[in-house]
Amino acid sequence: MQSKQVLGHLANICQNIISIVKIISINLPFSALRRRILLFGVGVFMYLWLHILITQSMAIAIDTKLTHNSERAIEKNSQNSGEDEGSIRYNAGQYQEAIAIWQSALNQTFDRKQKALLYTNVGTAYRQIGNLGEAIANWEKAAKIYQSSSDGESRRFLAQVLTEQAQAYNALGQFRQAMPILQSAIDMARKNQDQTTEIAAQGALGNTYSAAGELEKAIVAYQTSLNLANTLKNTQAIATNLNNLGSVFNRRYQQYLLQMNAAQREGDDREEARLTNLAQQDAISARTTYELAVEASKPLGGIMHAKALLNLAQFLQQLPSPKTDAIGNYSMQAISLLERVSDSRQKAYALISAAEIVGNANRNNQQLKAQTLQKAIVITRNIGDKRAESFAVGALGKVYEQVQNWTVAMQLTQQAALAAQQANAADSLYRWQSQTGRIYKATGQNELAIGSYKDAIVTLQSIRSDLAAASKDLQFDLRDSVEPVYRELIGLLLNESEKSAGKDAKAKIEDALQVVELLQLAELQNFFGDECTEVARDKSDPLAEIASTNTAVINSIILKDRTYSILRLPDGSVHRYEVALSRQEIENQIDRLRFTLEDISTDEYLVESQKVYNWLIVPMLADLEKANPKTLLFINDGVLRNVPMAALYDGKQYLVEKYAIATTLGLHLTANKKSNLVKSNALIFGLSAEIPPFAPLPNVPKETQGIQEIVGGVRFLDKDFTLANLEKQINKGNYPIVHLATHGKFGADPNSTFLQMFDRRISLNEFEEVLRQSKHPIELLTLSACQTAAGNDRSTLGIAGVALRAGVQTTFASLWFVNDADTLPLIENFYKLLQQPGITKAEALRQAQIKLIKDPNGHPAIWSPFILVGNWQ
């Protein structure tokens, strides 16, 4: 029983996690400015967690379709056994009572088929109350019985049960496990000529592909299900599939907008125009499909029609010029429909969604919003659904928070937290813990606020891998839903440290730095969206290491309204510096610096570089000069990752002329083992051939030959630079150095990140798998012709993350593409210097860069983009 409780707990945690992807996609901005205006206007936190409810209630339509076959089983069960009380309770939304009745019936029957039907019913009821662990357990029992029978009816029911089971795995974030189950269900349904079950299975497969981020495949599956539904004139399935298709078009539309904004920041007009066109096409498709769903669901009425109306209203709300009257009209129609249906979890979530929409459509509708939420609360308590209750009560608490009725807001928020705890719903709980922190902060109780935020962080850490799994296709949800919790706590701790002194001040700064590292780790896992791979954190003492190597560590922390720099010196002292620059000001300045650094035709970068030097380095200059460290290790935040710290300019010289420089994601995420690369074997691959759209790299043969002469090893060029050969060499050899001279791009997520080989592109995840096959440690991975997307502050996570996850100690890579003829001297000098005993990688890079700085043509566009990430020794 305990294992089932654990599985049920996991199910409760994960059910809403999948919705996060849909939520954030629905709320993506049309531009960076618009995004901030919108978030400021409605409040980041409320906007996001209430939209989780919108997405959950969208999933109700999916459940209605998938439950159709289970309802048939429920009806058949009552007809056969005469025990229709369970069905009556179920249809009235009294799921716990229905479960008890059916479980009692299970103990009283020995008929295997009857047991299978009862297990199916119990599983369906457990799904309705969000306990997916118990749902799966009961469906598995039903499936085993059906599998042991060979008659046609059993085969039909088996396909139905497998469809339900796969959808539950989907809700748990286990998409890859759900896919083969659904394919099997589809094959069975076709063999049985059971188109009704195939409609459900194809729709469930669309859900699975959608949750896994494979939107094109999701569209195909939904369209297949829709075509079958049209053939059978199955109105319910038609409406459901139209809603699902609208959701996928909407999500893809949001993806294009995100990529379009990145292209705009990079100044890539052609790419921006292409993405704008694609976004507009999907916006039209989403709206048209939602409107068709509204029409298709009219004859059905009830929950189905209400949700179609709410989906359309919510979509219209995100457009540049939302039509308030239409949005309000659709929302009121939905509320009116919901008042006439029986109490259920679906009804409660739909009311919460409606409350969110009417509240955002008109600020004067706050009373109606509160009344609608009160109705939802009554329903959740009537049906005993603690998870739904936590969302409804917490949402109402947020309403009172907005009008600054702190007493009522706190009472409701604490009630929401208690309900979430009773439901084992960690994904709900952290929201109310952080909302509690906001209320404490607003009332001047900062220490209590810090405690509440720390509780929220602990809760978030408990579902960290689930959040990563749910974010595989849209990587900006962390930034909008989870990241604010970390940053609010960081800001509070640093603010309180200013009021403190001595050990207490240092303790608060240290606490803030620990939260920063947790956020960095969460960002990394969210970027890769991999619930299976855990980043190996270094177990050694990093403080002792930075002391012994005379290294100073600089953390940058960008908050909404201000920026901090934290300096940790080799003697263990910690210093905090505040900069009166907002996130928007920082982003604008860094974008400008990156643009001018890349432009080799001008020296405009000098002014921009000095500006950043003045606010980042000057405040700590006296402390730095007094400590006189040998190396600066930067742990940068956000857009600061997009520019090389080596190029910061004080008016006379660059920062790299004073210090060796390296970067990392965190002290505990950095290997501290000292490297010895003198005459190390290198595995060298190079691509000089033209592979459209990439131009040839004519100097790659010379570059790779020079490296082979310096460090030894083996070399493969062009047609020998294949994935199969790379995999073979990594697997069989012992190469402390892996050098890849080829085009590559690090984008906003693994899907937009790749390396170009002769035969194909290799994705970031594929590349990581190859590196993992090395039986010996890879101490240095060099990517000499790659570039990161300037328009996205997550792109450098790929460089750091792939190495960290694959166990590579250090990555040596370029932030932007440099002509291969210009990079040759720096790369050769870097490797030559590494052959000198005792020299660190950071110092070798420093000396190689200084040599180019002294060259009359030594523009930082050539030497500064090369950075060391990870172990600097």
pLDDT tens digits, residue range 806-850?
A: 888 999 999 998 888 888 999 999 999 999 988 999 999 999 999
φ, ψ of residue 811 to 5 degrees: the values are -110, 130
Dist. CA 100–CA 564, nearest whole Å = 57
pLDDT of residue 837: 87
Tell me which of 124-138, 221-235, 593-607 is least confident.
124-138
Which one is predicted more confidently, 267 or 604? 604
| CB-based contacts of 42, cutoff 8 Å, min separation 6 | 360
80-89, 704-713, 724-733, 816-825: range with lowest mean pLDDT:
80-89
pLDDT digits (tens, 9 = 90+) for 550-585: 999 999 999 999 999 999 999 999 999 999 999 999
Q: Which residue has the tokens 């590292």?
A: 517
Q: Provide the pLDDT for residue 479.
A: 60
537 pLDDT band, cuts 50/70/90, is: low
The pLDDT of 481-490, averaged and rounded, is 90
Q: Which helix (H) or strand (E) holds 810?
A: strand 810-814
Q: Distance between CA atoms of 101 and 445, rounded to whole angstroms?
A: 49
How many other C-beta atoms are found inside a 10 Å radius of the C-beta of residue 532?
A: 9
Average pLDDT over residues 219-237: 96
Taking the CA atoms of residue 765, residue 770, residue 776 and residue 777 in that order, the dihedral angle to the nearest 10 degrees is -30
Tokens of residue 38, six digits: 């919108």
Predicted confidence band at 25 (pLDDT cuts at 50, 70, 90)?
A: very low
Question: Which residue intervals of 529-644 are DSSP H helices?
Answer: 542-548, 583-598, 605-616, 621-627
Q: How far apart are CA 810 and CA 439, in angstroms?
A: 43
CB 352 within 8 A of CB 384: no
pLDDT of residue 451: 97
Share of the chain above pLDDT 90, in %: 55
**Start-to-end CA span in the chain (Å):** 52
> Picking from 43-57, 208-222, 245-259, which range would have the lowest pLDDT averaged per residue?
43-57
Model pTM?
0.79
Fill in the amino acid letter for 281: Q
Question: Residue 782: helix, strand or coil by DSSP?
Answer: strand
User: What integer is the mean pLDDT of 228-256?
Assistant: 94
Three-class SS state of 534: coil
pLDDT higher than 90, residue 333:
yes
What pLDDT, on the 0 to 100 scale, is given for residue 339? 92
CB 563 within 8 A of CB 581: yes
**pLDDT at residue 706 tops 90:** yes
CA distances from 52 to 17, 57, 127 (A): 9, 9, 18
Using an 8 Å Cβ cutoff, are 337 and 302 in contact?
Answer: yes
Domains and CATH numbers, the chain: 682-870 (3.40.50.1460)
Q: What is each CA distance from 831 to 159, 259, 821, 837, 848, in whole angstroms? A: 61, 36, 16, 12, 9
Share of the chain above pLDDT 70, in %: 86
